[in-house]
């Protein structure tokens, strides 16, 4: 493709050609309600110290809440949790009222996930239209379920 054709639409397409898992970031809001947002920018960063990151859209309605948050949980969604991914990607309703979850200490963990990591925020970095949120792994758990996959802007199973 010629560089003149490489506009933001084609950039979006090449970004979408990379297969990822799907996570839901859960956290308690200022109103003490548990909220979640679907995110596929998660990546593990470092074993020692244990660090992970994800990226938050500066236009998100949850931006102010999340930038103030010191603790959150990254839930790795399983193949049968597509409806949760769709629900938590909608504007104006990030509530977990209809999503089965449990509270472990101050962590909100979605039931039926492949695994989860609770984090404390280490640092944020300005990165264009997103911010990168670097977190330290505080606790985690996992099992043998299969993950939900996102590829070519569609949900898939392995």
By the rule CB under 6 A, 137 interacts with ligand FMN: no
- Exactly one of 41, 71, 95, 124 binds ligand FMN (CB under 6 A); that residue is 41
Q: Which is nearer to ligand FMN, 67 or 138 (CB)?
A: 67
The stretch near ligand FMN (CB under 6 A) out of 28-36, 48-56, 69-77, 103-111 is 48-56
- Exactly one of 35, 52, 53, 55 binds ligand FMN (CB under 6 A); that residue is 55
* Residue given tokens 């506009």 in the structure block: 7
The stretch near ligand FMN (CB under 6 A) out of 26-34, 51-59, 68-76, 107-115 is 51-59
By the rule CB under 6 A, 74 interacts with ligand FMN: no
- For strands 154-157 and 130-142, give the pairing: unpaired
Binding mask 5-34 for ligand FMN (x = CB under 6 A): -----------------x------------
Q: Identify the helix (H) or strand (E) that includes residue 21.
A: strand 20-21
Note the maximum CA span of the chain.
Answer: 53
Strand ranges, E, within 47-129: 51-57, 71-76, 101-104, 107-110, 115-127
Q: The tokens of 48 are what?
A: 């020692």
- The answer for 16, left when phi > 0, alpha when psi is -120 to 50, beta otherwise, is alpha
Give the binding site for ligand FMN (CB under 6 A).
22, 37-41, 54-57, 60-62, 89, 91, 150
């Amino acid at each position: 493709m010629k560089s003149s054709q490489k506009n933001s639409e084609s950039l979006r397409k090449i970004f979408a050609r990379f297969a990822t898992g799907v996570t839901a970031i859960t956290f308690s809001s200022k109103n003490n309600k548990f909220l979640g947002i679907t995110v596929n920018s998660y990546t593990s960063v470092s074993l020692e110290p244990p660090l992970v990151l994800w990226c938050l859209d500066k236009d998100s309605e949850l931006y102010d809440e999340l930038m103030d948050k010191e603790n959150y949980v990254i839930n790795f969604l399983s193949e049968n949790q597509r409806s949760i991914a769709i629900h938590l990607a909608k504007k104006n309703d990030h509530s977990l009222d209809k999503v089965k979850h449990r509270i472990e200490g101050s962590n909100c963990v979605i039931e039926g996930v492949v695994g989860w990591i609770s984090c404390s925020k280490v640092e944020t970095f300005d990165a264009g239209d997103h911010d990168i949120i670097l977190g330290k792994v505080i606790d985690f758990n996992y099992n043998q379920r299969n993950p939900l996959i996102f590829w070519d802007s569609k949900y898939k199973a392995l």
